[in-house]
Structure 1
Amino acid sequence: MDIKEAVFWLLDFAGYKRTESYSTDLTLKHSVKKIAPEKNNIKFVLPQQSENNNFLYSYLQSKRKISKKCIDFFVDKNLIYESKGYHNIVFKGKDENGITRFASMRGVFDKNGYVFKCDVKGNDKNYGFNFVNDKSDELEVFEGAIDLLSYCDIYDDYKTNKLALGMIADAPLETFLKENQNIRIIRLCLDNDGPGRVASSVLKDKYESRGYKVIDLPPPKEYKDYNDWIKSLRSKKTITMEKYR
């Protein structure tokens, strides 16, 4: 992170509410240049895996309203797991050869607005949490991993390619498209807040100019993101719906 990102991350972690004005200038920090992997000779080592995924299932099902079927899918694909010790959820981003290049962690013990989130040291931010199906030419793009899971659950969609950027910058998207040249359709499933809407506009123009069919597909306007949407659907005890997309 640069200094500004680091300060904001620490403020968020400490539970402070912050306000930042977002310019309508359609630029993204990493929209062109690739992000250099973390330096200082930090070796990328995945956190040790817990003996089971009990805390992972409990958090995603009770707090995030993700179904066991959806969680099972990603656990079975070895894309998420629970770390030993702190019991964080680890989300893995693999390259075209199935080698994990990126990993982020998300705590399961949220309390009074305190949230633990961070990337594993030494990761390559040109990758993001992803699911690859080389038989599909469609790709859905999200800001966060839990929104990606929420989308899969809402639409019962475990066939199309999916990518969580972990930010509103497209270095991971550039890498994914380079490594998966079968992609023809991109759905931008970014948040309904200011940064998400600006990023969607920028990315839509950028990738349409490259010949992709790009669809802006945020959740319904009354929800900030896909996880907000699925929590609302589950509270109403209904998840069956026509394809919004």
Structure 2
Amino acid sequence: MRRRPMPFTEEQMKQVFDTNIIDFAVRHGFEVEKGDRNTVHVKHSGGLYLFRHGRGYYQFAGEKSGNIIQFAQEYLGAADFKSAVEMILGCRAYEQTEHYVQPVEKKPRGELILPPKDKDFNRTIAYLTRTRGIDSEIVYAMINQNKIYQAVTQKNGYTFRNCAFVGYDGEGKPRYCALRAPSSDRKFRQDVENSDKTYGFCMEGRSDRVYEFEAPIDAMSHATLCKLYGIDWREDHRVAEGCLSDKALSRYLKSHPEIREIVFCYDNDVDGKDANGQPRNHGQVQANQSAEAFAKAGYKIFIQTPQTKDFNEDLLTFREMSARSRDSPERAEAEEREAAYP
């Protein structure tokens, strides 16, 4: 009896596993953004990350990983191995001449359900004020506005506590929530499922100027630096995207027509590289692209680049240098002279 031939040739299977999963995901309607050194994050996915080398994915929420075939089955509705490979190749099994594109319907975003609040926010407050150096007045102001809290979740018998950063729509409804571990030793970060990043993390101001950031911690660090320099941190607006984008800023401007000046404060990715390994300062490339676009819309534009990697690192560096200055022998001697000769 003749054996039925394999549905795909060795060359085709090589082509499947040589297909970059990031390109494949984008081609099928997924939006990606900067993740960490090794991954990109899939927007609105509840913690789905694609590896930059293009050969797999990891889903934090379900603690699952896989290759491009499993990705097609899990996230694009491929019924089995054969249909997943067909989707990747663009042709049906046994018929290399027939073009095949699996129709993909993007699921509508469901309602955002915020994780439960913990009985206290001690760990989150300590992390933001002590580890990250953010002024306590600013942290408590955001807590009082329900934009920061300590989330607690249970999974597999374990309890997890994370910082939660929340963005709201004009009616005060939560539309975006990002979680991150309250520790410099843990790298956990995840957007809550059904988050809409076009709402972002916003710090309302009174002036006609808005500062634009990638992360909430950078926005609050910038506000802290202003306060340390004697500037009223509540005067200007601040918007944090939660990623490398300007969509939350666009939405914020629509509801704040008084704003005429935008200052882009994206990260200074001096060690960044593109997909081909070539140097690329992602944050400053985006800053220049966004600045050009909003200048055409009539806004007065500035770019404020961090001295270090980002504004939180700038803040920590400033605090460390201030502490050294206070502890130096020259400073102590000067204080003694001031005390002796008032």
More strand by share: 2
Q: Aligned pair 1:183/2:259, yes or no?
A: yes
CA drift at 1:62:
2.3
Q: Aligned pair 1:214/2:214, yes or no?
A: no
Q: Which one-letter code corresponds to 2:199 in the other structure? A: Y
Deviations 1:73-93 (A, max 9, x none): 211222111112422111111
Q: Which runs of 5+ in 1 are unaligned?
A: 15-37, 239-245
Q: Aligned pair 1:52/2:120, yes or no?
A: yes
Q: d(CA) in 2 for partners of 1:59 and 1:75?
A: 14
Find the partner of 1:154 among 210, 225, 234: 225
Deviations 1:195-225 (A, max 9, x none): 01100110111101111001101222xx010
Q: d(CA) in 1 for partners of 2:284 and 2:264?
A: 10
Change (3 A) 1:117 1:175: same
TM-score scaled by structure 1? 0.78
Q: Percent identity?
A: 28
Deviations 1:54-81 (A, max 9, x none): 0001111222111222211211222111
Q: Is the 8 A contact 1:39 1:122 kept in 2?
A: no
Give the equivalent residue in structure 2 for 1:101. 175
CA-based RMSD of the aligned residues comes to: 2.3
Q: Is the 8 A contact 2:112 2:174 kept in 1?
A: no
Q: Which has the higher contact order (CA 8 A, sep 6+)?
A: 1
Residues 188-197 or 55-64, more deviating:
55-64
Change (3 A) 1:41 1:93: closer
Deviations 1:130-149 (A, max 9, x none): 1223x321100001110001
Larger Rg: 2
CA drift at 1:97:
2.5
Q: d(CA) in 2 for partners of 1:232 and 1:196?
A: 20
TM-score scaled by structure 2? 0.57
Aligned residues: 210
CA drift at 1:98:
2.3
Q: Which runs of 5+ in 2 are unaligned?
A: 1-29, 33-39, 42-48, 64-105, 154-159, 228-232, 270-280, 324-342
Q: Is the 8 A contact 1:110 1:116 kept in 2?
A: no
CA drift at 1:40:
5.4
Q: d(CA) in 2 for partners of 1:198 and 1:189?
A: 12
Q: Which one-letter code corresponds to 2:137 in the other structure? A: K
Q: Aligned pair 1:138/2:225, yes or no?
A: no
